[in-house]
Amino acid sequence: MSMTEHQKKISSKSGLPPGIPVYIGDKKPITTHVTIIQYDEKGYSEELKWDPENLNQVQKKDEVTWIHVSGLEDIIQIENICHAFDIHPLVIEDILNTKSREKVEDFGTYLFTILSKIAIADKIIIEEQVTFILLNQILISFSESDTPFSLIIDHIHHQNGKIRQSGSDYLLYTLIDTIVDNYFIVLEQLEDTADELDIDVLTIMSSETIGHIQSFKRDLAWFRRHIWSLRNIVNHLERTDSHLVNKQTHLYMRDVYDHTLNLSEEAEALRDTAEGLMEIYLSNLSNNTNEIMKVLTQIAVIFIPLSFVTSFYGMNFEYMPELHHPHGYPIVIGAMVAVVVIMILFFKTKKWI
Amino acid sequence: MSMTEHQKKISSKSGLPPGIPVYIGDKKPITTHVTIIQYDEKGYSEELKWDPENLNQVQKKDEVTWIHVSGLEDIIQIENICHAFDIHPLVIEDILNTKSREKVEDFGTYLFTILSKIAIADKIIIEEQVTFILLNQILISFSESDTPFSLIIDHIHHQNGKIRQSGSDYLLYTLIDTIVDNYFIVLEQLEDTADELDIDVLTIMSSETIGHIQSFKRDLAWFRRHIWSLRNIVNHLERTDSHLVNKQTHLYMRDVYDHTLNLSEEAEALRDTAEGLMEIYLSNLSNNTNEIMKVLTQIAVIFIPLSFVTSFYGMNFEYMPELHHPHGYPIVIGAMVAVVVIMILFFKTKKWI
Amino acid sequence: MSMTEHQKKISSKSGLPPGIPVYIGDKKPITTHVTIIQYDEKGYSEELKWDPENLNQVQKKDEVTWIHVSGLEDIIQIENICHAFDIHPLVIEDILNTKSREKVEDFGTYLFTILSKIAIADKIIIEEQVTFILLNQILISFSESDTPFSLIIDHIHHQNGKIRQSGSDYLLYTLIDTIVDNYFIVLEQLEDTADELDIDVLTIMSSETIGHIQSFKRDLAWFRRHIWSLRNIVNHLERTDSHLVNKQTHLYMRDVYDHTLNLSEEAEALRDTAEGLMEIYLSNLSNNTNEIMKVLTQIAVIFIPLSFVTSFYGMNFEYMPELHHPHGYPIVIGAMVAVVVIMILFFKTKKWI
Amino acid sequence: MSMTEHQKKISSKSGLPPGIPVYIGDKKPITTHVTIIQYDEKGYSEELKWDPENLNQVQKKDEVTWIHVSGLEDIIQIENICHAFDIHPLVIEDILNTKSREKVEDFGTYLFTILSKIAIADKIIIEEQVTFILLNQILISFSESDTPFSLIIDHIHHQNGKIRQSGSDYLLYTLIDTIVDNYFIVLEQLEDTADELDIDVLTIMSSETIGHIQSFKRDLAWFRRHIWSLRNIVNHLERTDSHLVNKQTHLYMRDVYDHTLNLSEEAEALRDTAEGLMEIYLSNLSNNTNEIMKVLTQIAVIFIPLSFVTSFYGMNFEYMPELHHPHGYPIVIGAMVAVVVIMILFFKTKKWI
Amino acid sequence: MSMTEHQKKISSKSGLPPGIPVYIGDKKPITTHVTIIQYDEKGYSEELKWDPENLNQVQKKDEVTWIHVSGLEDIIQIENICHAFDIHPLVIEDILNTKSREKVEDFGTYLFTILSKIAIADKIIIEEQVTFILLNQILISFSESDTPFSLIIDHIHHQNGKIRQSGSDYLLYTLIDTIVDNYFIVLEQLEDTADELDIDVLTIMSSETIGHIQSFKRDLAWFRRHIWSLRNIVNHLERTDSHLVNKQTHLYMRDVYDHTLNLSEEAEALRDTAEGLMEIYLSNLSNNTNEIMKVLTQIAVIFIPLSFVTSFYGMNFEYMPELHHPHGYPIVIGAMVAVVVIMILFFKTKKWI
């Protein structure tokens, strides 16, 4: 039941003139590391330092260059990298503001996209902003944390597969595919929570259960908003007519798009479930109250008349002939039994027993 | 009330690099059987083995070739068939992943569509993914289970009807029509369930009934999602400008489309019914509680004052003149009768009796 | 409250190969009668037999020919009529299947439309499928029952009005206008039902009332679906660029379209009312329970303490000095009166009296 | 709380052949009066009789001619006026049918629009159909009642403002602006009602309050439907490319359109309020029941055990040692006090006090 | 919890002929002050008096001129300023009517936009209408209150940043950005209120809590309407093809648009929360009632039978052998204990303890 408090996305920059890069995030920014990976079908090289000198060299070669920046602490260096590729100041601002909206923008010479990567650790969801800048044969990526794509790097390094034979757009596709895959894991977590709640609503009648349902609904709403953005971005990438995205790659993007549609359908189904949970809880509660009322009424309806009778013959009038009649006592007992029988028959009629 | 647990559609492939065909499904894959049917107005032949050699021969003739593959176990053979027709790797992946989204895609030289076929056996719905690849005069179909289209095969074999005179697109239409017809059977099942629940909500006041309503709503939501996909796919096939679909066949596709619209209208009507069921159940429960409260109140309101009176004269004060009065007893009895009469009149006023 | 059980629209044809005309309906088909009416500004003739020989003659003349077929039993004759005008097999199938979707289709040389005609008899709604085929100066109409358009026939026969001066498209307009008018009568019936229910929800607290509301909502949903189809069809006819519909007639079609918009607005308003009915019923029920609880509580709260006091002095302890005090009895009575007064003041404070 | 019963809009013409003008309305039609106002920047003339002879004269002059017809009794005269300007029979029918849908239609040589004018008198809303026909420099208006536009006539007569310098389209704008202004007055009335209900829902717990809320919701729905039509019509007039509406006037129409948007926003806000009213009422009722239950439970829980104790010592067993014990009585009293204290502490724990 | 009563936006101008400027607002208009700021990359000048003479001079120079008018009291002066730039009378009317709809309009030579600026002071939201007229290198702004943009003025004066190097469209962007930033502050306030209510609904069961939720929902609805308008306006400015907005500035407008999307997403999430609050409150209330009923029923069900027994042996029959039996008393006590034990076991079965 423990999901992340979705970080409040309100910019704390209010008041500052626009266009000045400042790191905005609520986690402590992690030390910036730059990894420059260069590969083609034949070779693979990896460098761990950003050097503009190398860059010129890079652009001459016909291989794919992937510049990955992890950690957003070192604003100066990030600005340097961006300036080297002539990135617009507003884009730099978005990269550094980890509360930017997920989006994709086409600047002609480069495509810029912001995504939210989610991972799960100890039932806690960790949300992280990842930004990509796709240039011709170059991909620059920025992540808040350390190593979100180490598996992919490993894959490029050791396997001479399709990725080594394709351009930077296919690399982008692979990275986005990894991000989308992670959403499925979170979806599974949400489905488990839904299953747990499905049992809870029938057994635990307390405001705690309502709290859990509500928190589940909030998590789900948060998830659906992300899915929605993701879907729009991937859809845009699939349909883009940018020369940066190869025609072949469009097919792969369409595949990722299908996955986001799957995610979105599953999330809608979960939403229906969540609505149902509340309904079940409430109607079950009503059932319960109804049941309690029935028991109370049965007991009361049987014993109140009986008690009246006993109380009646407890009166202290001097002249109550029944009291002195030798059969008075057994007759009264008989009358009481009759009352009980009548009441039980009445309940049978009303189908309360 | 027993519907299939709709299989979770989450890809378990997360982590694997894209483009490598793996069978993804939760049933044990069934042994692959290939049936190659060739027919024209004059002749009909059936072969049970896939042989690329025959293929060339096939393409020369002017007849319709239907290659049906049932069971998805033999990945190698499926890949071979697909490669023979130059099918894109992502399509092969979709064929093998039985949790693919229902969809239709136009690849120029072939049309690719994924559908869900549902059948009913012992009140259990069996869902099965069926994929079609429509080429020029050739139709390739893949199904998870053994023989979903045996009736059609029989029909082609023995009847020299319109199907024998038409192309592979008409064959596709016939197969889709069969799939749509099966949806009507499931719809009838759902309608029966709704009728049963309509009686239950008025008679059985238990959390079980709520459970049944909720499970019905989930089944319905699952059904509506499928109808929705089906409708979109058929609509796309009706409007496609692909040269693979004959102009004549468009009219037939429109007819199937009409059927999916019917399905969708009926499903919407069922959804309204489902919403109503919950309303009826809850208001009936409230009625019930109200009724119980009335009985309790009536009994309590009549007997509580009476008991007070009797209890009053059960006090042991030495100086209570009434107790010693010779008419005390009958007067008290009279008073009690008066209280009862007044209370009953009061109930009449309140319309509680 | 008695509306027709809306016939289930599920095709029972599942399994049959498409394109073979079979009569599908749940009423016994009525014997087929063909009426051929021919008129122009000057003359009017009526024949009661279908004879393809006459037809050629017909097409030579410059008058309007209306072929009305009532009763769908004689499939052979209906097929003959359709073949004479080169009607597509799927259209014939739709004519004979009385569970077809309402729709309009343009086949170039003819316009084909299916409508639902509803009439009221003894508070029972009778639904009937009517199909029209509009050709150049010829209108063919099919109805399930005997004489839905006798008034119009009479009107054409005896009055030399606009209809006699106009073409077959104006005739189609007149017939559709008649059908739409009938919907207003059903709407009035629904409004009467809503008015009755408006009183019921405040007076009759039983599950029967809920049943009535739900059945009203279903009837309304059924009505709204029909209105919706009707509206789309008339809108299509208004906007069609078919040469079969005269430009002048478009204005009249727009007028009918306005009527369907009226119908649809009224139906929406009724739906709001229906939603409100349930709300009123439920809140009234809650009011009622609340009221009952108040009475119970008042009685209990006054008498339970009093009974305690009397019971207290009914204890048989040997040493209870109050019992022997000469003023004990009146003092206790005074205390009881005080309790009652305090309780009533308490109720006043809580605004329960 | 007293709003007009919105007249049922169902045409009572069902059965009549289309195209024959009949007055349809539920008020007695008022005697027809024709006022012909002619003005330009320099002069103003007013005539109270319709004379086709004058008309020719009119059309020659370069001034604006406003023919206002109030009261729809004299069908012949209305037909004459319409025929003089070549108005389509269906338009005449719409003018006379006071239950026509609000709409605007462009007939090329003239624009035809139907609006609903609402006024308030003694908290009763009076709805009236107003129709306008805009020709070149001529405006014909029809109203059901006597003098809806007397203020505007006065204004034209005495003030040489913009209206005197503009064409018939500006006159139309002025009249529509007046109609829209009246909607604001009704909106204020609805807002007052909402404010009253806001207090009622917290204080008056009766089915009457629910009735008031529901009738308010119906009034609001009726109002919103009108606003919706009004908005569409004005939007159409703003965007029309008819040569009858001057480019300058479009700006003014946009201004009226802005007002209708304001109306519509306010009406939406009111709808939210109306939804909230029901919620407040119902939850307040639940609060109330809860409160009553608490009191009942508190009293019962305190006194039922006490009464048990007293009743216990009211038993007549011969051998009950406590009864004869000299301290029995005070000990029992002490025990009772202890029970009360324990119960009160229990309530404190449960936060019921 | 204290938000502004959103001012009723109904025009009080009803009845007045259109086109005559009158100040409409419900605050006392503030004395009009005109500030003329002129700047370019090199220089900055500020004048506090409107003088049409200066204007000509202005237009000659190649710098940006910002004419800010605060306070709308001096209608004559405002009209003069507008006339100097040939502003349409309807625009002047909108400027003076502080209840105008938020909007943007393109008049070719100038862009006109109305926005609502909101600020917070002592938990009270102050809403203020701000209007901008963007001409070539000139920006005219009108505000109701004194100094909403003093920070920006200061910034232009002292810092030689991007704003000094850009045109009047960038100035407009900066001002709108400031306005949007203020919305984030109000959003935070609303989020705080939601958090407070989240605790209240679980602890305070009174109609006051419902009142707070409802007032929160109204505030939120009011906020969402503003966000919606804001978003549309900024979107329009981003996409406008007016020559007045520089291509460079479009990117900045898109950035503001992103912020409004953020606002709108957050507001939607808050709405979900608000819906949830009511649900939690109501179900918690039901829980509470259920809990109370349980306690009442437990007490009643245990003590009512016990009291019956004691009352039974309080009867005064002469011949009740048990009373005289030496073990009668302890046997009865034993029976009572047995009853209590049975009842508690029954409760355990029902899971009420």
ipTM: 0.74
How far apart are the C-alpha atoms of E279 and A278, rounded to whole Å? 9
How far apart are the C-alpha atoms of D129 and D25, rounded to whole Å? 10
Distance from A253 to chain E by nearest Cα, in Å? 25
Reading the block at residue E164, the tokens are: 């000094």
How far apart are the C-alpha atoms of B77 and B85, rounded to whole Å? 13
Of the two residues A27 and B32, the one the predictor is more confident about is B32
**pLDDT for position C312:** 84
**pLDDT for position E113:** 95
Question: Are residues D300 and E300, on separate chains, in Cβ contact within 8 Å?
Answer: yes
Distance from C172 to chain B by nearest Cα, in Å? 24
Q: From E16, which residue of chain D is nearest by alpha-carbon distance?
A: D178
Q: What is the mean pLDDT of residues E147-157?
A: 83
**Mean pLDDT of the residues in chain E:** 83
Q: Tokens 């409160």 correspond to what residue?
A: D291
Q: What is the mean pLDDT of residues D5-16?
A: 40
How far apart are the C-alpha atoms of D305 and B132, rounded to whole Å? 77
Query: What is residue E71's DSSP assignment?
Result: -
**pLDDT for position A177:** 92
Domains of chain A are 33-283 (3.30.460.20), 292-350 (1.20.58.340)
How far apart are the C-alpha atoms of D310 and C309, rounded to whole Å? 9
Q: Are strands A33-39 and A44-47 parallel, antiparallel or unpaired?
A: antiparallel
Contacts of E305 in chain A (CB under 8 A): 299, 303
Contacts of E162 in chain A (CB under 8 A): 17, 19
Contacts of C289 in chain D (CB under 8 A): 289
Element (H, E) at D116: strand D111-121
Q: What is the mean pLDDT of residues E238-251?
A: 89
Sign of CA dihedral D155, D160, D161, D164: positive
**pLDDT for position D55:** 62
Greatest CA span in chain A, whole angstroms? Answer: 124
Contacts of D185 in chain E (CB under 8 A): 14
Question: Are residues E269 and A225, on separate chains, in Cβ contact within 8 Å?
Answer: yes
Question: Are residues B191 and C8, on separate chains, in Cβ contact within 8 Å?
Answer: yes
Contacts of D225 in chain C (CB under 8 A): 265, 269
How far apart are the C-alpha atoms of A80 and C51, rounded to whole Å? 91
Question: In this structure, how many other beta carbons lie within 10 angstroms of the beta carbon of residue C90?
Answer: 19
pLDDT digits 0-9 by tens, D103-137: 999 988 999 999 999 887 777 778 889 999 999 88
Reading the block at residue B92, the tokens are: 């092969």
Axis-axis angle for helices A247-312, A207-239 (nearest 10):
160
Reading the block at residue B18, the tokens are: 């894209």
**pLDDT for position D54:** 63
Select from E283, E292, E343, E350 the residue whose CB has the most chain A CBs within 10 Å, as the one to mutate to test that interface: E283
CB A302 within 8 A of CB B305: no
Q: From A272, which residue of chain B is nearest by alpha-carbon distance?
A: B218
Contacts of C306 in chain B (CB under 8 A): 308
CB pairs under 8 A between B and C: 151
Query: What is residue A11's DSSP assignment?
Result: -
Of the two residues B169 and A29, the one the predictor is more confident about is B169
Question: Are residues B282 and A286, on separate chains, in Cβ contact within 8 Å?
Answer: yes
One-letter amino acid of D212: H
**pLDDT for position E42:** 83
Reading the block at residue B48, the tokens are: 């049970």
**pLDDT for position E6:** 38
Axis-axis angle for helices D247-312, D207-239 (nearest 10):
160
Residues 6+ apart with CB under 8 A from D47: D35, D36, D38, D54
Reading the block at residue B107, the tokens are: 């690849």
Q: Tokens 């692979």 correspond to what residue?
A: A174
Question: Are residues C310 and B312, on separate chains, in Cβ contact within 8 Å?
Answer: yes
Question: Are residues A287 and B326, on separate chains, in Cβ contact within 8 Å?
Answer: no
Cα–Cα distances (Å) from D165 to D43, D67, D244, E17, E87, in that order, read 11, 18, 16, 14, 20
Distance from A53 to chain E by nearest Cα, in Å? 30
Q: In what order do the strands lie in the sheet with C44-47?
A: C44-47, C33-39, C64-70, C138-143, C124-135, C111-121, C103-106
Sign of CA dihedral E123, E124, E125, E126: negative
**pLDDT for position B141:** 94
Residues 6+ apart with CB under 8 A from B106: B112, B240, B242
CB A65 within 8 A of CB A38: yes
**pLDDT for position D92:** 92
CB D100 within 8 A of CB D23: no
| CB nearest to B285's CB, from A188, A286, A315 | A286
| CB nearest to E282's CB, from D173, D286, D304 | D286
Query: What is residue B54's DSSP assignment?
Result: H
Neighbours of chain A (3+ CB pairs under 8 A): B, E
Q: Tokens 């002129």 correspond to what residue?
A: E38
Contacts of C285 in chain B (CB under 8 A): 283, 286-287, 290
Neighbours of chain C (3+ CB pairs under 8 A): B, D
Phi then psi for residue A172, to 5 deg, are: -60, -45
Contacts of E148 in chain A (CB under 8 A): none
Instruction: Flag residues of chain C having pLDDT under 70.
Output: 1-29, 52-61, 147, 352-353
Q: What is the mean pLDDT of residues B212-220?
A: 88
Predicted model pTM: 0.81
3-state class (DSSP) for residue A196: helix
Question: Are residues C210 and B151, on separate chains, in Cβ contact within 8 Å?
Answer: no
Distance from B8 to chain C by nearest Cα, in Å? 29
Reading the block at residue C146, the tokens are: 């005997």
Reading the block at residue B168, the tokens are: 């592979």
Question: Are residues E217 and D280, on separate chains, in Cβ contact within 8 Å?
Answer: no
Select from E97, E201, E329, E340 the residue whose CB has the most chain D CBs within 10 Å, as the one to mutate to test that interface: E329
Reading the block at residue A187, the tokens are: 């979806």
C273: closest CA among C190, C181, C183? Answer: C190
How far apart are the C-alpha atoms of E112 and E244, rounded to whole Å? 11
Question: Are residues E174 and A17, on separate chains, in Cβ contact within 8 Å?
Answer: yes
Question: Are residues A9 and E265, on separate chains, in Cβ contact within 8 Å?
Answer: yes
Residues 6+ apart with CB under 8 A from D325: D331
Q: What is the mean pLDDT of residues A206-222?
A: 86
- For residue A40, pLDDT over 70 is answered with yes
Contacts of E294 in chain A (CB under 8 A): 292
Q: Tokens 């004489």 correspond to what residue?
A: C147
Alpha helices (runs of H) in chain A, residue ranges in sequence order: 52-60, 75-84, 89-96, 150-158, 162-165, 168-203, 207-239, 247-312, 321-324, 328-350
Contacts of D312 in chain E (CB under 8 A): 310
Q: From A273, which residue of chain B is nearest by alpha-carbon distance?
A: B218
Select from E6, E226, E307, E331 the residue whose CB has the most chain D CBs within 10 Å, as the one to mutate to test that interface: E307
Distance from A57 to chain E by nearest Cα, in Å? 32
- For residue B130, pLDDT over 90 is answered with yes
Alpha helices (runs of H) in C204-327, residue ranges in sequence order: 207-239, 247-312, 321-324
CA atoms within 13 A on the CB side of A54: 15
Reading the block at residue E310, the tokens are: 């004691």
Sign of CA dihedral A38, B16, A170, A148: negative
Neighbours of chain D (3+ CB pairs under 8 A): C, E
Cα–Cα distances (Å) from D314 to A205, A307, E308, E314, in that order, read 41, 13, 12, 5
Contacts of A311 in chain E (CB under 8 A): 311, 314
* Pick from A21-30, A102-111, A247-256: least confident: A21-30
**B353 confidence band (pLDDT: 50, 70, 90):** low
Contacts of B328 in chain A (CB under 8 A): 317-319
Distance from D100 to chain E by nearest Cα, in Å? 27
Question: Are residues E218 and D255, on separate chains, in Cβ contact within 8 Å?
Answer: no
Q: From C207, which residue of chain B is nearest by alpha-carbon distance?
A: B284
